Amino acid sequence: MKPVLLGIAIAMLVSACATTTSPTGRRQMVGGVSQAELDQLGAQAFTETKSKGTLSTDPKQNAYVQCVVNALVAQLPAQYRGVRWETALMVDKEPNAFALPGGKVGVNTGIFTVAKNQDQLAAVIGHEIGHVISRHHEERLTRQMGAQTGLSVLGALAGAAYGEGAASTVSQLGGAGAQAAFLLPGSRTQESEADIVGQRLMAEAGFNPAQAVDLWQNMMAASGGRSPQWLSTHPDPANRIRELQRDAPSLSGVYQQAQAAGRRPKCG
């Protein structure tokens, strides 16, 4: 009986999912959760993260981060541009940032120790938003659902098939599970892809894409040559810097066009 149930679960999962193409042309398996579910989980993880930390009350720093986020969001595809994005600046010395489905961006004050100007801050936030628009969270959750076995999978997928997916998925992935699923680093493939997407996004928004290289060099220098916690599962830092250096010249035209069109962010 168990093999039969597992077979049904797998068949239902496959039928519920879809193969799509990422912004870089990579094939992805998505569709395990709906956009409404993703947004709900993103909001839940964002609320949990803020509740566990201390929000900065520095008006200048908050305005600075919000300015960079606004400039980047203005260049997103329409489906993401129409979302009401919310930004939180948290007092934490760890140089870290994240973005979540549903238009949520979190930045630690520690990022200012390595992001020395608005272009470098845009490189960090652009990378994180790159995860969202590349559907990496959805891809990760779909993969996790595919790894589940037995009646729990069958029940969740059967509920989704009959319109009860939101409640069952949030129930299974809620609480600390939602936070972990969204905030843990992605695969190295996803991280490399977010670098590519984020660097292009910053250029389209009028930020200098060459500054992405300087940002990661600052990050490595600040960590004494060791990979900081944020980069622990990311691509090799030296390779990452080489790839950003490789792509920067091809994005200079995009950057110049953005500047000529009047996209000249003045965030700080």
| Helices H / strands E in the chain, number of each | 12, 5
Structure tokens at 59: 């008006």
Q: Residue 25 falls within a domain, yes or no?
A: yes
DSSP letters of 53-113?
S-B---HHHHHHHHHHHHHHHTTS-HHHHTS--EEEEE--SS--EEEETTTEEEEEGGGGG
Q: Residue 17 falls within a domain, yes or no?
A: yes
CA distance 75 to 50: 27
Q: What is the mean pLDDT of residues 6-26?
A: 63
Q: Residue 125 falls within a domain, yes or no?
A: yes
Q: Are residues 172 and 113 in the same domain?
A: no
- Least Cα distance to 110 among 219, 216, 217 occurs for 219
- Of 16-20, 52-56, 217-221, 262-266, the poorest mean pLDDT is in 16-20
Q: Residue 267 falls within a domain, yes or no?
A: no
pLDDT of residue 23: 84
CA distance 113 to 222: 8
- What is the tens place of the pLDDT at every residue in 201-239? 999 999 999 999 999 999 888 876 555 544 555 666 778
Q: How many domains does the chain have?
A: 2
Strand 86-90 vs strand 104-108: parallel, antiparallel, or unpaired? parallel
Q: Are residues 160 and 99 in the same domain?
A: no
Q: Are residues 166 and 59 in the same domain?
A: no
- Least Cα distance to 141 among 96, 172, 102 occurs for 172
Q: Are residues 62 and 111 in the same domain?
A: yes
Q: Are residues 150 and 215 in the same domain?
A: no
Range of the domain at 219: 53-134+185-260
Of the three residues 116, 151, 176, the one that is the final residue of a domain is: 176
> pTM of the entire structure?
0.79
b/e 215-248 (16+ beta carbons within 10 angstroms → b): bbbbbbeebeeeebebbeebbebeebbebbeebb
Q: Are residues 217 and 152 in the same domain?
A: no
Of the three residues 158, 176, 194, the one that is the final residue of a domain is: 176
Q: Residue 158 falls within a domain, yes or no?
A: yes
Q: Residue 59 falls within a domain, yes or no?
A: yes
